[in-house]
Amino acid sequence: MKEYLRKALRRETPFFVGIPAFIWLVLYFYVPLTFIVLLSFLLHDSASLLQGLTITHYLSFLTYPYVWIFLRSLFFAFTVSCACLCIGYSLAYFLAFKAGRFKTFFLFLVIIPFFTNFLLHIYAWFFVLERNGFLNNLLQFLGIIKEPLHFLNTAGATLVVMVYCYLPFMVLPLYSILEKFDRKLIESSLDLGATAWQTFTRITIPLTISGIQSGFFLVFIPAFGEFVIPGLVGGDKSLFVGTVISTSMLGAHTMADGAAFTVLTGVLLVVVAALLLCVIRSFERKGNV
Amino acid sequence: MNSIARMRSLFGMPLFVGLTYIFLYIPIIILVLFSFNSAAFPSPWQSFTLHWYKELFYTSQLWHSFLNSCIVAFCATALSLLMSIGLVFYDLKAKKIRSYLAFFYGIVIVPEIVFAVGLLSFFSFFEIPLSLPTLVVAHTVLGLGYAVPLIYTRFLEMDRRLIEASLDLGATTSQTFFKVVIPYLKPSCMAAALLLFIISFDDFIIAFFCAGSDAQTLSLYIFSMIRAGISPVINALSTLLLIVSSFFVVAFCSLNNRSRLL
């Protein structure tokens, strides 16, 4: 019997070595996610005893102010992703094709912010955007403005700082795909009479679409739930999805509402991501024709 | 090609890239400069001082939170790395897990805040007190989402003939794993470990929800300091952290050249 057990244990060692990762992931990732869905449907009375199931937590969020919050977050996330894509693509293109022997150094400069706490980047922007900060001083020195402007606590500040913080997340996937890109394809396209712009839109972009896709989502998804940057440099004036989630989840009796709002956020994100994916795929198909 | 187009192709790209680098580095340079300024921020440059660095070293709360961050990052990195290598072992000895890999991509797709909030409600339902262990649990999940795809795809790229040769020459699968697969995966494991450590160390969103009120990590401490206003001590801290992370980047890049993770 003992011998049999030992043999069985020996045979099953790989299973016991391999399974913890799955268990960990299910227990601490998939179960909590299901949990939040369950929590959003539970009805508690004032003594926080379970009363039954309800959809009242959802109904309060389908009103005008909350729809507006969703739209605002979507708009910000989309704008930030597009700005990051434009800046990041040219930067990655430069790094992959034009940087020459300084490539490692320039790449190093892009990766450093990626490896530093993003709170410090937000903090650094205070020195640029403050009333006596760099930007106001520069503009006054150039004679463009006479009086210092208010940059902090505006939507513009939120946008700029978000682009700044998320830019490395866009550059790195684009760079890694552009680096593997076969340059002979560009040369042959130019040789066969295509203009530089045609080559770029019909060869380079379709062949790097997977990098664009992963970069876009790496920026879009966290930007949609962002609550730190609007809270610190946006002045808490306008609410974002992330702000609502964090305040209601950390509040005393609003956890179920927060759960409902989180579920709505997740559903919305899935829908938007699917739509964006369709758009990107259609670009890919256009390139293949 | 007319002259305007030539000018554009010669200068357009470098100009735009130069502006991008200025955009990336102006805030950081100003941040570092003001850590050496003897007067606190709103006043302009006065004189060079190292006073803020001295003050930084006497802020015991900061070092306490720094230690907490290091402990959490180390535990989470070790756990997720061990589990990912365990998966490779399972794949080699028993069953291919390739079709289950999508399972691990869930973490990348779900926004961090949703995951953090889910975990928070999970912990509070079972009345598990929020502290450093809960944070390690959360960061390990995050680490698995990065480590498993990185290490496993690297393992898939490995030349199968190496494994077959080792088995043909009489090594057991365990010996093959320890003497052939592990040495092959070593650089990517180290690069992944660096990445995981940094991700856990710099994480704010998960710590904000899952660390509780007693356990303070460095990110939470920095956040509370920024909330309180501009202080040259944070500038000094940022400068030191920037130097440390550039060392990390150098180490990561040299490992990456060998293992091609990114």
Length of chain A: 289
Q: Answer whether residue B52 is part of any domain.
A: no
Chain A residue numbers touching B193 (CB-CB < 8 A): none
Q: Answer whether residue B104 is part of any domain.
A: yes
Stated pTM of the model: 0.87
Q: Answer whether residue B18 is part of any domain.
A: no
Q: How many domains does chain B have?
A: 1
Distance from CA of B202 to the nearest CA of A (A): 5
* Sign of the torsion formed by the C-alpha atoms of B147, B153, B158 and B160: positive
| Interface contact A258-B114, CB threshold 8 A | no
Distance from CA of B208 to the nearest CA of A (A): 9
Domain span holding position B222? 59-259
Question: What would the pLDDT profile of A76-120 be if each residue is shown by its tens digit?
Answer: 999 999 999 999 999 998 888 887 788 888 888 888 888 888 899
Q: Answer whether residue B13 is part of any domain.
A: no
Chain B residue numbers touching A110 (CB-CB < 8 A): 24
> Tell me, what CATH number does B95's domain have?
1.10.3720.10
| Interface contact B112-A225, CB threshold 8 A | yes
| Interface contact A262-B109, CB threshold 8 A | no
| Interface contact B262-A232, CB threshold 8 A | no
Phi, psi values for residue A46, rounded to 5°: -65, -25
pLDDT tens for the 262 residues of chain B, in order? 455 555 556 567 778 888 999 999 999 999 998 888 887 766 677 778 888 888 888 888 889 999 999 999 999 999 999 999 999 888 888 777 777 888 888 888 888 899 999 999 888 888 888 889 999 999 999 999 989 888 888 888 888 899 889 999 988 888 899 999 999 898 889 889 998 999 999 999 999 998 887 788 999 999 998 888 888 888 999 999 999 989 988 888 888 776 555 5
Q: Which residue of A has its CA nearest to B244?
A: A116
Q: Answer whether residue B4 is part of any domain.
A: no
| Interface contact B122-A104, CB threshold 8 A | no
Distance from CA of B1 to the nearest CA of A (A): 11
Domains in chain A (CATH in brackets) are 66-281 (1.10.3720.10)
Q: Answer whether residue B143 is part of any domain.
A: yes
Given pLDDT bands bounded at 50, 70 and 90, which one contains residue A136?
A: confident
Q: Which residue of A has its CA nearest to B109?
A: A221
| Interface contact B112-A222, CB threshold 8 A | yes
First to last CA, chain A: 67
For every residue of chain A, DSSP letters joined together read -HHHHHHHHHHHHHHHHHHHHHHHHIIIIIHHHHHHHHHHHEEE-TT--EEEE-SHHHHGGGSHHHHHHHHHHHHHHHHHHHHHHHHHHHHHHIIIII-GGGHHHHHHHHHHHHTS-HHHHHHHHHHHHSTTSHHHHHHHHTTS-SSPP--TTSHHHHHHHHHHHHHHHHHHHHHHHHHTS-HHHHHHHHHTT--HHHHIIIIIHHHTHHHHHHHHHHHHHHHHT--HHHHHHSTT-S--HHHHHHHHHHSSS-HHHHHHHHHHHHHHHHHHHHHHHHHHHHHHHHHH-
* Residue A29, pLDDT above cutoff 80: yes
Distance from CA of A37 to the nearest CA of B (A): 9
Chain A residue numbers touching B34 (CB-CB < 8 A): 127
- Give the pLDDT score at B70: 94
Chain B residue numbers touching A258 (CB-CB < 8 A): 117
The Cα B247–Cα B194 span in angstroms is 11
| Interface contact B248-A250, CB threshold 8 A | no
Q: How far is CA A267 from CA A261, A270, B220, in A?
A: 10, 5, 29
Q: Answer whether residue B25 is part of any domain.
A: no
- Give the pLDDT score at B218: 92
| Interface contact B104-A94, CB threshold 8 A | no
| Interface contact A18-B91, CB threshold 8 A | yes
What does the pLDDT average to over A238-257?
83
B116 token code pair? 């953090």
Q: Answer whether residue B238 is part of any domain.
A: yes
Q: Which residue of A has its CA nearest to B253?
A: A108
